[in-house]
């Protein structure tokens, strides 16, 4: 992986970028979970790159690894995250000139970051004046362990306006006591939009961090490698199918109908 620096007004933003070996087929802007950092998702970003996707993840100001974290209060976190995602999509769009004219973009995120991806795909979130949300260039949304309705940022009705094809991933151990006491709460993003192009992947035995494979590598594990591989494959296929027009990826998504952990509406 490499680090690329971009600018948003007078603010410097570092992108962690994972590139495929050959020409990328499409691109993903990824938003990390609260307080985490892109390099704690290296298995995910590199896995997408191995599938032929260009992945870029900004270091948000709430990260404990951000060098200027103390300069931002809680009120600035959501605004700067929205700005970071939009600027990352802009940067990725510019990389498309190296590939082909129908270059496709996707938005992805984990936990709090998944709410950013949903916003780019059309979810109705509370946003400061002028802050970017919906991005018509986004052809697919990957929401890994997304939060439930979280007023004032988003109410239950906010998920209904999600327009882009969507994959919501969770697991039956994906709980955070006191916030998400039942993993089924995370499926609101899958259940709320009108049927069509909505997919849910519920993995048995999988928790919020895949046993430390993403977000919190300091966890003792054991790593939930099998579930992670399934999430990686399904998410790559959704992006390839909708952002790259890959018919074989679309066929693999359709074939998942025989898997009890994968549902479509």
Look at the chain and report how many structural domains it folds into.
1
CATH number at residue 174: 3.40.50.1820
> pTM of the full predicted structure?
0.95
| Dist CA 16 CA 55 (whole Å) | 8
Give pLDDT, residue 66: 86
Residue 97 has pLDDT above 70, yes or no: no
Mean pLDDT (the chain) is 93
Residue where the block lists tokens 């940022």: 153
- Specify whether the CB–CB gap between 17 and 1 falls below 8 A: yes
Domain containing 145: what range? Answer: 2-264
**Nearest CA to 7 among 91, 98, 120?**
91
Tens of pLDDT along 225-264? 999 999 999 999 999 999 999 999 999 999 998 899 999 9
Tens of pLDDT along 137-193? 999 999 999 999 999 999 999 999 998 999 999 999 999 999 999 999 999 999 987
> Which tokens belong to 151?
């007023």
């Amino acid at each position: 992986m490499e680090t690329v620096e971009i600018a948003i007004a007078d603010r410097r933003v570092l992108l962690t970028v994972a590139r495929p070996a050959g020409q990328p087929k499409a691109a993903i802007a990824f938003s990390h979970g609260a307080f985490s950092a892109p390099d704690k998702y290296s298995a995910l970003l590199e896995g997408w790159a191995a599938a032929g996707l260009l992945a870029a993840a900004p270091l948000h100001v709430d990260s404990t690894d951000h060098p200027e974290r103390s300069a931002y209060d809680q009120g600035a976190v959501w605004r700067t995250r929205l700005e970071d995602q939009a600027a990352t999509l802009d940067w990725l769009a510019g990389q498309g000139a190296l590939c082909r004219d129908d270059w496709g973009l996707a938005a992805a995120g984990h936990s709090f970051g998944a709410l950013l991806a949903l916003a780019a795909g059309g979810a109705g979130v509370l946003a400061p004046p002028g802050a970017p949300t919906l991005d018509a260039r986004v052809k697919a949304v990957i929401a890994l362990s997304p939060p439930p309705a979280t007023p004032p940022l988003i109410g239950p009705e906010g998920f209904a306006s999600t327009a882009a094809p969507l994959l919501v991933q969770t697991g039956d151990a994906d709980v955070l006591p006191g916030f998400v006491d039942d993993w089924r709460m995370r499926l609101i993003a899958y259940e709320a939009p009108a049927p069509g192009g909505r997919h849910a992947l519920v993995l048995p035995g999988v928790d919020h961090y895949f046993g430390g494979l993403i977000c919190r590598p300091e966890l003792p594990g054991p790593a939930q490698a099998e579930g992670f591989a399934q999430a990686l494959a399904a998410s790559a296929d959704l992006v390839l199918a909708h952002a790259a027009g890959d018919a074989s990826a679309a066929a693999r998504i359709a074939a998942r109908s025989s898997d009890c952990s994968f549902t479509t509406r």
